[in-house]
Amino acid sequence: MNIEINKEYTIKLLEEIINIPSPTGYCSNVMAHIEKTAEEFGCKFEKNKKGNGIIEIEGEDNSYCVGISVHVDTLGAMVRSVNSDGTIKITSIGGNLFPTLDGEYCEIHTRQGKIYTGTMLSTSPAAHVYKDSKDKERNEENMMIRLDEVVKNKEDVQALKIETGDFISIEPKFTVTPSGFIKTRYLDDKAGTACALSLMELFKRLGKKPKNKVKIIVSTYEEVGHGCSNIPKDIDELIGIDMGCIGLDLACTEQDVSICPKDSSGPYDYEITSKLIKLAKENNIKHAVDIYPMYGSDVSASLAGGNDIKGGLIGPGVHASHGMERTHIDGIENTIKLIYAYLTE
């Protein structure tokens, strides 16, 4: 494939959206940034009632519509209550790996618009004090937030207007290494989002259009299962771009685009999957074909919601999902190349 991917643009865009906190249900700020990005490329942008963004790219033939689903919501937490000692009890948003959160910096976003910083810790955080500091299970029940404010009791925290239901985001620690690795939280699925949004830059720079109309759906509730349960009625097929799985007997690496024929929700469309594999081979795009053993996507949610579509699933290989994740710029580049080939060949 003789196209040049603007990797600098994609990495810059990825860093921007990674650094805008967006736990599921708290996505208006990042969606505003995505809307601005779409407008810069002259693409129509709209939101549905629950806040999913929909970007339209005109095709050579607009009578058929290919949807691309990505999600910008991430794992996170919410204030459940305030403990008597002024620490915060949490409730999880999405499937957090709590052992990886012990010691992580976080922010609490109040409904008055204030942001307070803190650290997520075990309820037995000190090795010199608690006998079970090393062995205590790190789970939702045994984790709390230590606020970076002078608070000694529940009343002190309430005076800060921190309340039950306030969202909590974890510091992502976005880093690009000299060897091309991108390590950060929330590559699931902001890496996929950056791939899809980069199509706007690519089509404009090349002066080309996709064969058919394209609608990019940026969902905001994927991590809790219903992100794309309802999609625009004119979408005929839906390709999910989400993280590719790495581990066990799976073949994918961080340099690959992963093509998924089946995940926990069942098989994806045979013809779409076959076309994706064929295009990857014909265009010498480094790829892997893998079954995802513990996984569901926005395409799954769309099918479960009764939408009359057929669907496929691809994405850059991401190591250590739901923890401190890592991918490689090659995996992102190969994902963009494959979805571009699918939309143009």
241 in Cβ contact with 194 (< 8 Å): no
| Domain presence at residue 1 | no
Looking at residue 1, what is its pLDDT?
79
| Domain presence at residue 2 | no
| Domain presence at residue 67 | yes
Same domain membership, residue 117 and residue 22: no
Same domain membership, residue 270 and residue 121: no
| Domain presence at residue 252 | yes
Longest CA pairwise span in the chain (Å): 68
| Domain presence at residue 181 | no
Range(s) of the domain holding residue 242: 7-74+186-344
Same domain membership, residue 122 and residue 30: no
Asked which of 170, 201, 225 is the last residue of a domain, the reply is 170
Q: Return the CATH number at 38.
A: 3.40.630.10
User: What is the Cα–Cα distance from 184 to 243, expressed in whole angstroms?
Assistant: 13
Q: Return the CATH number at 100.
A: 2.40.30.40
Asked which of 119, 139, 170 is the last residue of a domain, the reply is 170
- How many domains would you assign to the chain? 2
pTM tops 0.95, yes or no: yes
Helical pair 7-18 and 28-40, crossing angle rounded to 10 deg: 150
User: What is the Cα–Cα distance from 209 to 19, expressed in whole angstroms?
Assistant: 31
Q: Look up 222 and say whether it is catalytic.
A: yes
User: What is the Cα–Cα distance from 103 to 105, expressed in whole angstroms?
Assistant: 7
Same domain membership, residue 281 and residue 143: no
Same domain membership, residue 294 and residue 324: yes
| Domain presence at residue 180 | no
3-state secondary structure of 37: helix
Same domain membership, residue 70 and residue 81: no
Same domain membership, residue 156 and residue 101: yes
| Domain presence at residue 179 | no
Question: Cα(first)–Cα(last) distance of the chain, in Å?
Answer: 11
Same domain membership, residue 265 and residue 124: no
Same domain membership, residue 226 and residue 122: no
pLDDT per residue rounded down to tens, the chain (345 residues): 789 999 999 999 999 999 999 999 999 999 999 999 999 999 999 999 999 999 999 999 999 999 999 999 999 999 999 999 999 999 999 999 999 999 999 999 999 999 999 999 999 999 999 999 999 999 999 999 999 999 999 999 999 999 999 999 999 999 999 999 999 999 999 999 999 999 999 999 999 999 999 999 999 999 999 999 999 999 999 999 999 999 999 999 999 999 999 999 999 999 999 999 999 999 999 999 999 999 999 999 999 999 999 999 999 999 999 999 999 999 999 999 999 999 999
Same domain membership, residue 333 and residue 243: yes
Asked which of 170, 203, 237 is the last residue of a domain, the reply is 170
Same domain membership, residue 331 and residue 240: yes
228 in Cβ contact with 238 (< 8 Å): yes
| Domain presence at residue 178 | no
Same domain membership, residue 338 and residue 200: yes
Considering 4, 16, 35, 222, which one is annotated as catalytic?
Answer: 222
